[in-house]
Copies of this chain bind each other. A is one copy, B any other.
Amino acid sequence: MKLYDCKVAPNPRRVNVFLAEKGIEIEKEQVDLMQGGQFDPAYQAINPRCVVPSLVLDDGTVIGEAAAICRYLEELHPEPSLYGRTPLERARIAMWEQRTLNDGIGAIGEAFRNRASAFKDRALPGPKKYAQIEALIERGRERALQFWEEVDGELAKHEFVAGGSFSVADINLLVMIDFAKWIKLEVPENLANLRRWYAAVSARPSAQG
């Protein structure tokens, strides 16, 4: 199989950190988002939504979304588990996977894409044009800060986002916090639990590169 990747972009990074945590090596090809490589007809034939990452299996099947790629890799390589073991662990991780995506990476994406001049008329991913909406810049920042406060409360109770074990929810949150630097947003000083967590997770080998 082969991963269509873009090293600098947040969603492909979710898969890259996941692969590193699992110790899986696969072939990768870079799609240059800065040059509009996702709209290249050759890539569009692979992923008509023009987003990265895409995982192409040996029989040509395409999985064109980061969360689905990670679920697939978890099935093939169950250890170490990044989606939980018990029904309750799996449910909690599914909940925080969703939240770190929507209220986390999604909030930063909202603030970023509605401001950056390179994203004029591309406020949403994909081939269809959507105008930027100025009000979403500030709303995205507010949502992110609100979410961090909530997560800080969770991290006061347990070591990782969804409980005692490192999971995909932690990967999403790590990617969110690094993505937030693009809009010059940092975790506030008073969120000590989140800052402790971020220092620890950033030091993992999977977070490098």
Most chain B CB neighbours (cut-off 10 Å) among A69, A88, A90, A91? A91
Q: Among B65, B90, B124, B146, point to the contact of A95 (Cβ < 8 A).
A: B65
Determine how close the nearest CB of chain B comes to the CB of A62; give it in whole angstroms. 10
Interface size class of A (residues with CB under 8 A): 35 or more
A165 at the interface (CB under 8 A from B): no
Task: Provide the A120-134 mask, 1 if CB < 8 A to any CB of B, else 0.
Answer: 000010001011010
Q: Among B68, B92, B95, point to the contact of A91 (Cβ < 8 A).
A: B68
A87 at the interface (CB under 8 A from B): yes
For A94, what are the chain B residues with a Cβ–Cβ distance below 8 Å? 65, 67-68, 71
Bound: A136/B65 CA distance, A: 24
Cβ-defined contact, B87 with A75, below 8 A:
yes
Bound: A48/B150 CA distance, A: 10
- Tell me which residues from 14 to 51 in chain A have a Cβ below 8 Å from any Cβ of chain B: 48-49
Chain B residue nearest to A99 in the complex (CB): B65
Q: Among B67, B90, B135, B150, point to the contact of A71 (Cβ < 8 A).
A: B90
Bound: A142/B130 CA distance, A: 9
Task: Provide the A90-109 mask, 1 if CB < 8 A to any CB of B, else 0.
Answer: 11101100110010000000
For A181, what are the chain B residues with a Cβ–Cβ distance below 8 Å? none
Could you name 5 residue pairs across A and B whose Cβ atoms are closer than 8 Å? A65-B99, A67-B98, A75-B87, A130-B142, A133-B136
Q: Which residues of A contact B (CB under 8 A)?
A: 48-49, 57, 61, 63-65, 67-69, 71-72, 75-76, 87-88, 90-92, 94-95, 98-99, 102, 124, 128, 130-131, 133, 135-136, 139, 142-143, 146, 150
Q: Which 7 A-B pairs have the closest CB atoms?
A: A75-B87, A68-B95, A72-B91, A71-B94, A68-B94, A65-B95, A68-B91
